[in-house]
Chains A and B, each alone.
Chain A
Amino acid sequence: KAGVTQTPRYLIKTRGQQVTLSCSPISGHRSVSWYQQTPGQGLQFLFEYFSETQRNKGNFPGRFSGRQFSNSRSEMNVSTLELGDSALYLCASSRKMVRGGGTSTDTQYFGPGTRLTVL
């Protein structure tokens, strides 16, 4: 089974531009989560999509947005880029298990990441 793929792998943008990153989950996985990794802030949760709906959101400004398509592929968009947005953006996919009256996300499998540099 193919793993999680992310495109592009590397990206260089300038301040004020916008960027779109793409993530294709493992076949059969319907949940896609996005994370930002920086040396200063570590690994931070951005948002999660399941069945084309945003199910959860981290503490990031509205410049960060995302969407999920019917085939579970997801994109995240960052508008009006700032220098501080330079980071490794990781995407992870998982099944969404229904357990005991509630839902919980199962093991997340990560893609190789997109390295974004903002100049």
Chain B
Amino acid sequence: AQTVTQSQPEMSVQEAETVTLSCTYDTSESDYYLFWYKQPPSRQMILVIRQEAYKQQNATENRFSVNFQKAAKSFSLKISDSQLGDAAMYFCGHNTDKLIFGTGTRLQVFP
């Protein structure tokens, strides 16, 4: 069965600093996608970054990057140069035939 685990319910970071959010998953599939979504107070789910399992290179989108360890089934999100607007709930998702989410990590950013 697909499972996604986010072990950090809350994280905090100082503005301009770097923070890493953790995610592990379990699957028997070899072909899948992994995602990080951001949900600000507006509740709109916004795609942050995605990783295709067959690609060894870690995905990067501006200040956001991932550390994808396929053998360890780990998919962490690194946010560099944190900004106040990064404050939100972050959900890790794993997709084979359906998208399964973790329980989320609430990120606070302090000035």
Point out residues on A near B: beta carbons under 8 Å.
Answer: 33, 37, 42-43, 45, 48, 55-56, 58, 88, 90, 92, 99-100, 102-110, 112-113, 115
Contact = CB atoms under 8 A, between A and B. Distances in A.
B45 A90 contact: yes
Contact of A108 (B32, B43, B99): B99
B101 A104 contact: no
A104 B30 CA distance: 12
- Which has the most chain B C-beta neighbours within 10 Å: A48, A110, A112? A110
Contact of A104 (B47, B50, B91, B96): B96
B61 interface: no
Contact of B97 (A43, A56, A92): A56
Given A92-B45, A112-B44, A107 B35 contact: yes
B19 to A, nearest CB: 21
Given A45-B100, A104-B97, A110 B45 contact: yes
Give the interface SS of chain A, mostly helix, strand, loop or mixed.
Answer: strand
Contact of B101 (A43, A99, A106, A107): A43
Contacts of B45: 90, 92, 110
Interface string B42-70: 11111100100000000000000000000
B43 A45 contact: no
B43 A48 contact: no
A42 B101 contact: yes
5 contacts: A42-B101, A45-B99, A88-B43, A99-B31, A113-B44
A77 to B, nearest CB: 20
A104 B96 CA distance: 6
A104 B43 contact: no
A90 B44 CA distance: 9
Given A88-B43, A90-B45, A48 B33 contact: no
B95 interface: yes
Contacts of B102: 42
